[in-house]
């Protein structure tokens, strides 16, 4: 998996956490786990307090869930890039 894709996903996660009303989130505060399948890197899982985000690179979307598993938001990575949201 390309490093720039992972960095873009991190930026989108931080921007979306901010939009969801969390206080200033530092990337160091977000726990990141690599998702593997058949020893291949499939994406990432991000956890910050009671919000978790799942990014499957093949799906090109990051989904945000609350502690109860309710979907809070789904962010299309490609659309975020074209809209300039990742830099927010």
pLDDT the model gives residue 2 = 67
Q: Give the model confidence (pLDDT) of 30-60 as tens digits.
A: 999 999 988 888 899 999 999 999 998 888 8
pLDDT the model gives residue 81 = 58
Give dist(CA 19, CA 78) in Å, integer: 18
Domain-wise residue ranges, the chain: 3-87
Q: Give the model confidence (pLDDT) of 54-88 as tens digits.
A: 998 888 899 999 999 999 999 998 776 556 555 44
Question: Coil, strand, or helix at residue 43?
Answer: strand
Global pTM value = 0.81
pLDDT the model gives residue 88 = 44
């Amino acid at each position: 998996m390309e490093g720039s894709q992972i960095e873009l996903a991190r930026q989108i996660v931080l921007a979306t956490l901010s939009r969801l009303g969390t206080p200033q989130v530092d990337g160091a505060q977000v726990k990141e786990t690599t998702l593997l399948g058949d020893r291949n890197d499939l994406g990432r899982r991000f956890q910050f307090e009671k919000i978790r985000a799942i990014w499957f690179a093949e799906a090109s979307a990051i989904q945000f869930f609350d502690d109860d598993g309710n979907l809070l938001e789904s962010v299309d990575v490609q659309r975020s890039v074209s809209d300039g949201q990742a830099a927010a």
